[in-house]
Amino acid sequence: AQSVTQLDSQVPVFEEAPVELRCNYSSSVSVYLFWYVQYPNQGLQLLLKYLSGSTLVKGINGFEAEFNKSQTSFHLRKPSVHISDTAEYFCAVEGTSYGKLTFGQGTILTVHP
Amino acid sequence: DSGVTQTPKHLITATGQRVTLRCSPRSGDLSVYWYQQSLDQGLQFLIQYYNGEERAKGNILERFSAQQFPDLHSELNLSSLELGDSALYFCASSASGTSGGEQYFGPGTRLTVT
């Protein structure tokens, strides 16, 4: 079984500042890792994913994440945030069960002007 | 717009009742997933279908059932509803049922049980 812990439930930040949203996972098998974003009153949208290869993954909207196997982490970063990045962000893992995503509790990112 | 449609958008019903949520996947996607999002449980995987067959099961209650039809749309049936079933129910689809594929999420159906 897999589990995901998002270490911050809320992250407030000012516009144009950098941000890091933290995610740790637990699994006894190899996993695939994902970050999804949920804007208010919308479904989830994939930001980026790590399947294999380079541990630094670039996604949409200027986000990137780094897979660290030894620390079982997959933190999401953006060097300069915009007001439009205000949303809830979910880290997810997928193990051996086809397509079954296990989500973290989510981190609400609020970008202030 | 992900291409996944869900109906209805909102549903208000009473305890003990039965409802059906409908999902149409993106054109060409064979796999459909159902998730429940609630304040206390977060986002939880319920069930996955691939080309009409059940592929994986999560923490889905016995009062809940789902199916995927030959035209690939899916329905989630919730019966003997309880207050705790109030949640946002998402459907997602992907091209295949294999690991690592992107899942495209619909806008969700908000169920309120009174």
Please write the tens of the pLDDT for every residue from A80-110. 999 999 999 999 998 766 668 899 999 999 9
Q: What is the spatial distance between Cα B12 and Cα B6, in angstroms, rounded to a whole number? A: 16
DSSP string, A25-51: EE-SS--EEEEEEE-TTS-EEEEEEE-
Q: What is the spatial distance between Cα B79 and Cα B64, in angstroms, rounded to a whole number? A: 6
Q: What is the spatial distance between Cα B19 and Cα A7, in angstroms, rounded to a whole number? A: 36
pLDDT of residue B101: 79
Q: What is the spatial distance between Cα B57 and Cα B55, in angstroms, rounded to a whole number? A: 7
User: Which residues 94-113 of A are in CB contact (within 8 Å) with B?
Assistant: 94-106
pLDDT of residue A98: 65
Please write the tens of the pLDDT for every residue from A5-52. 999 999 999 999 999 999 999 987 778 999 999 998 888 999 999 988
Q: How far apart are the first and last CA of chain A?
A: 41
Q: B43–A45: do the CB atoms touch at under 8 Å? A: no
Q: What is the spatial distance between Cα A106 and Cα A25, in angstroms, rounded to a whole number? A: 13
DSSP string, B34-71: EEEEETTTEEEEEEEEETTEEEEE-S--TTEEEEE-TT
In chain B, residues with a C-beta closer than 8 Å to the C-beta of A106 are: 42-43
Please write the tens of the pLDDT for every residue from B4-53. 999 999 999 999 999 999 999 999 999 999 999 998 899 999 999 999 99
* Residue A23 CA neighbour count, 13 Å, CB half: 29
pLDDT of residue B11: 97
Q: What is the spatial distance between Cα A93 and Cα B70, in angstroms, rounded to a whole number? A: 30
- Kindly tell me if the per-residue pLDDT of A76 is higher than 80: yes
In chain B, residues with a C-beta closer than 8 Å to the C-beta of A104 are: 42
- Kindly tell me if the per-residue pLDDT of B95 is higher than 70: yes
Q: What percent of chain B has pLDDT over 90?
A: 84
- Kindly tell me if the per-residue pLDDT of B63 is higher than 80: yes
- φ, ψ for residue B19, nearest 5 deg: -135, 160
Point out the residue among B42, B90, B97 whose CB comes nearest to the CB of A99.
B97
B24 closest CA partner among B74, B67, B66, B69? B74
Q: Residues B23, B75: contact at Cβ < 8 Å?
A: yes
B45: number of Cβ within 10 Å: 23
Q: How far is CA A92 from CA A57, B37, B110, in A?
A: 15, 14, 22
- Kindly tell me if the per-residue pLDDT of B99 is higher than 80: no
DSSP string, A47-73: EEEE-SS-SEEE-GGG-EEEEETTTTE
Nearest CA in chain A to B43: A103
